[in-house]
Structure 1
Amino acid sequence: MFVAKRMTPNPVTISPTATVADASELMRTHKFRRLPVVDKGRLVGIVTDRDLREVSPSPATTLSIFELNYLLAKMQVKEVMRTNVITIRDDATIEEAALLMYNNKIGGLVVVNAAGAVVGIITETDIFKTFVDVMGLPEGKTRLTINATDTVGVIHDITEVFKELGINIGSLACYKNGDDKAEIVIRADVRDVTELAARLEKLGFKVAHVAKIG
């Protein structure tokens, strides 16, 4: 799955010479938290709701409301924007986007195309929704956690049991749990969990947990 399929396309952008008040109004109107700053078609920065909060006056200020409005009306986006923008290509994978956000502790990425033009925004919410969709959570399947060793052929042996019982697997994920241990999480349309678990345990695979999700 690629970023282009999960991002919000054609994002609202703002000019570096626009005022902070303009940026604040755009964010409030559209209910988003970040604005790419574009100058002559080129990405030059990003301004977030946090950046705007940092330049907003505190209750302790001695300035009048008229003075504050005047200052905010004059302050430009380029004075508060961040120029070290972390971007990702639209043809990158969702996994790459998730890792980039995780490593940099950020909640969103500006998406650019091969020419460097801004074509979208992808956020942690998009990543979370992708996880839910990929794992098939809304479909109401049975979730099984199977303990296994992390060795070649384990997935084949386990899925062969599902095939023998005519069980269609909706999603499968494998998680390391120690040097040679693994948890295999499978979501499938299982009618008889007891029979499935018994066959798996004959092969040395313990069904550690069963739940119906969705």
Structure 2
Amino acid sequence: MFVKLWMTSNLLTVNSSQPIVEIEQMMRAHRIRRVPVVDEGRLVGIISREDLFRAMPSIFDPSITAEHLEQAGRITAATIMTSSLVTVEPTTPLEQAALLMRTHKFGSLLVVQNGHLVGIITETNIFDAFLEVLGTKKDGARIELKIDRTPSAFYAMMQVFKKCAMTVLGITVFSDFSDEHQLVTLKVQGKNMDRLIDSLWEAGLQINRLHTEGKEQE
């Protein structure tokens, strides 16, 4: 999967000459934690709520004067924005985006194409993709198999599901489960569960765990 399938495209943006007082009001009204800074369609920076908190004087600070507040009202986005950005493209693999977010401890990444902002990918988007891949939103049984770390073992496994007319809703592979085995987890749907289980054992495929209808078996 790629970023373009899961990114959010409709974004609120500001420009670099916009006063941060306006930006703070907009972010508070829309309950967002960060906003991209865009000039003539091109991404030039990003502003977070933390950036605003550092730049704006607190009304609860007794040392703040009216002059300080007036000066704060003249501060623009260009003054406080972060311009050195880590971005991805729409064609970036989703797992690469997730790794970048994990490495840099980001909650999101801006998506850029030819210098132009086209979207944002967030932790929530990543979770949604993860749930979709696992087939979480659809009814079915989850089967965890230990199979040999060979292409032929994976092919033999899929042939069993085909023979039993089972629909595969989601599949994940833990290829480094052990030196001898890979761990394959499948979400499947069909009327031939008993036949499927027998066929998997007959094919020499070890069922590590089976979860169906709220019950889990090992």
TM-score band by shorter chain is 0.7 to 0.9
1:154 maps to 153
1-structure distance, mates of 2:15, 2:46: 10
1:199 maps to 199
Matches within 5 A, 1:15-94: 15-57=15-57, 61-64=61-64, 66=66, 69-94=69-94
The aligned amino acid for 2:163 is E
1:117 maps to 116
How many residues align structurally? 213
* Structure 1 residue 31 displacement after superposition: 2.1
Assess, with a 3 A threshold, how the Cα gap between structure 1 residues 169 and 59 changes in structure 2: closer, same or farther: same
2:166 is the alignment partner of 1:167: yes
1:141 maps to 140
TM-score for the superposition, normalised by structure 2: 0.85
List per-residue Cα deviations over 1:116-172 (Å, max 9, x = no partner): 111111111111111212222111121111112222212111111112212121221
* Structure 1 residue 66 displacement after superposition: 4.7
* Structure 1 residue 194 displacement after superposition: 4.2
2-structure distance, mates of 1:71, 1:181: 65
Contact 1:137 1:213 in 2 (8 A): no
1-structure distance, mates of 2:17, 2:152: 60
2-structure distance, mates of 1:75, 1:213: 59
Residue 32 of structure 1 aligns to a residue in which SS? coil
1:103 maps to 103
Residue 161 of structure 2 aligns to a residue in which SS? helix
Judge which range, 149-158 or 1-10, deviates more.
Answer: 1-10
Judge which range, 136-145 or 177-186, deviates more.
Answer: 177-186
> Structure 1 stretches of 5 or more lacking a match?
none
2:182 maps to 182
Judge which range, 55-64 or 119-128, deviates more.
Answer: 55-64
Assess, with a 3 A threshold, how the Cα gap between structure 1 residues 55 and 149 changes in structure 2: closer, same or farther: farther
Question: What's the RMSD between the two structures over aligned residues?
Answer: 2.5
List per-residue Cα deviations over 1:76-132 (Å, max 9, x = no partner): 22222111111111233323322222232211111112x211111111111111121
1-structure distance, mates of 2:194, 2:157: 15
TM-score for the superposition, normalised by structure 1: 0.86
Assess, with a 3 A threshold, how the Cα gap between structure 1 residues 182 and 120 changes in structure 2: closer, same or farther: same
The aligned amino acid for 1:44 is V
Assess, with a 3 A threshold, how the Cα gap between structure 1 residues 212 and 69 changes in structure 2: closer, same or farther: farther
> Structure 2 stretches of 5 or more lacking a match?
none
Give me the identity figure in percent.
30
1-structure distance, mates of 2:195, 2:65: 72
2-structure distance, mates of 1:156, 1:80: 55
2:97 is the alignment partner of 1:130: no
List per-residue Cα deviations over 1:180-207 (Å, max 9, x = no partner): 3211001111445444233222333221
The aligned amino acid for 2:156 is D
2-structure distance, mates of 1:96, 1:192: 37
* Structure 1 residue 58 displacement after superposition: 6.2
